[in-house]
Structure 1
Amino acid sequence: MKFLHTADWHIGKELGAFSLLSEQWQAFRQMVTIAEDEAVDGIIIAGDLYDRGIPPLSAVEAFEDMARIMNLEHHWPIYAVSGNHDGAVRLGAGREWRETTSFYLHTTLAEAFEPVELADMQIFMLPFLDPLDARIYYQMSEEEGRDYTSIEAVLAKIIPDLVAKFNPGKRHILVTHYNVVGTGNVNYELTSETNSQVGGLKGVPASLFADFDYVALGHIHLRQASPTDTIRYAGSPVKFNTKEAQSEKGVYIVEIDDHVSLKWRRIHPIKDLIVVKGTFAEITAPAYFEQYARNGANWFSISLTDFPDVRNARGILTKIYGDVVEVNYIGQNEQLGDVVQSELVDGTLSDQEIISNFYETVTEKPLSEEQVQLVETILNEVGRGE
């Protein structure tokens, strides 16, 4: 069988102050063309369908239209899970009628133990979980639950229970959404999505998933972060921040018969994200900026290596380049010393990182392990309250 593996659509996300919905539609249309060309048997979406737990109406309408095109017009089965950015309860509504058209969207741990049974394959779908959800599912006492406060500990319990559901005569696929660490990405500089927003900052070892023939991952936005040859991140189909600006976006075509074979199919951005760096004089010189298609053709992240003695530097840069998503000042100032300032936070930092960075700035020391646990507990409570 042949599947298209994608993830991290983040429908509704903005790049700075700019909506990405048009670019997300462009990427989706290319994805549909790829799926047609490859004659796939199904679509895997490994989490983070939306960018927030309560997405705007425009995002909901866009995803519903995309799902309709894939599932009802092209009749592709969809195998999807909720990610850490999704509102699992809301996303899980309507499961019964969706599955009548082979649209499988799992948002709870209980559903993870109900694989989709195909003729020669079982497809397990494990959504991103708060460790508390696992403790409740397993009906742990307070004392038992103390050993299951991290994602790694919880998955170490869940995965063997999934494997126990294996039909030995079939192949086994897992669709899930976590930071998984293996030999392939041990030295790779990942995006900020490395840090999950709830349930622990550390990655889980790829060895936990060794019994599966293929693991379709979401959560990290770059395919280069894939931990092993058969445990893969498809990455996001659209560039969401400057850390991804130089990366190639696309989807994996996964063919599973006697063995697993992968083909990477690129998605070409209609409007790209370009990082510009230099002194104000350098990047405002026509000989420099005329090399780029500007004024709406691309987005620009600008890093200035000096502090220009001009009024409204950002306004000047916007007039030259058009869609400027952020302006960073990187350099030295007599009063400030070595600094990095940004006129815009682009939303790539997790809640833990924001709190940790603030604490370290104020106290000049990092959070202790106990403080990290306290922050995670509070964020878990806040997340459940949403």
Structure 2
Amino acid sequence: MSLPEGYFSQNESKMRKLTKSLYGLKQAPRMWNEKLVGVLLELGFNQSKSDYSLFVKSINSALIILLVYVDDIIVTGNDANEINNVKELLKSKFMIKDLGLLKYFIGIEVIRSQFGICLSQRKYCMELLTEFGLSGCKPVNTPIGQHFAVMNFCKKDESVLTNITGYQRLVGKLIYLYHTRPDISHSVQFLSQFMHKPTNSHMQLALRVLRYLKRSPGKGILLSKGTSFHLTAFADSDWGKCLDSRRSVTGFCIFLGNSLVSWKSKKHGTVSRSSAEAEYRAMCATTCEIMWLLNILKELKVPINLPIELFCDNTAAISIAANPVFHDRTKHFEIDLFFLREKISARIIKTVATESNKQLADVFTKGLLANQHDMMCSLLKMHDMFGH
């Protein structure tokens, strides 16, 4: 270590022993990130403006992509020689260990097959079931009941859960789990709203999600092989879903080719006065995600055909998006109105009507029947590599 600027001690010859590890200091992660970013920029990488953990290097026809999570790094590209060069350059700067072909990363297992690559968290899921004593439980077919809103979740006289820490720990782990399990997104979104004051009913629902996971703990997202890189989006909303605040729930999913790459289930920040308004706001939220994905794909040199189809099952919302004339029922959400219409007029987005039974975002806004839920999981390209 070098002494800090301004420090001076005459005839100083003693060594200093650290009583605290550098990894324990608050500034250590920041300093490590600055050092790593500086080295990567020196090596010719460009840091993504859309995702600061992504670095891209383009040399003639070779494209090298590097993804950083703290001190874990994934390197990929279309030129094996350039990838090896990057590894050697990193070895000259840091003490690194090459773990070979990607198989496991931050709790996500990467499984290769003839169909493509499957991202699964089976080990994490099995450990979660064991931790909460449900490794031998009887599984259920859905993570949340179709009519759960009429149950006791919104009663004011419900007894508050005594073990709040256990509930928070469970929901926190479920939040990490749905990075590869979009089928539990709506359930986890609902449960995470009550982290500060959960009730016994909320805990029972959280345990039901675990019982659902027991049915197929190895299920994950299948990134299938293909030559098409077109983006397709589905947006949906359940109007007035929350019985306490009457706010709606937005759900969307976006496909790159045949592979699901982005999804979300989230309660609106404001109350919508009509189902058309709720659906329109869902379309705006989906458009924001599409714009971010377009920026990422542009930096990765992936050409995308425009306009991007945005499927919605509400004809009133589609009409509002297409009609430039203001109506009394739309003037109170003026900013969203301009935002989506601007993207449609620029031919970035193209709204397309779809039937309700073909709306893939349904699973992100409400509980479904078992056969509907299974069909949606299949259409979302979820696959269990460990199933029989």
TM-score w.r.t. the length of structure 2 is: 0.24
Higher radius of gyration, 1 or 2: 2
TM-score w.r.t. the length of structure 1 is: 0.24
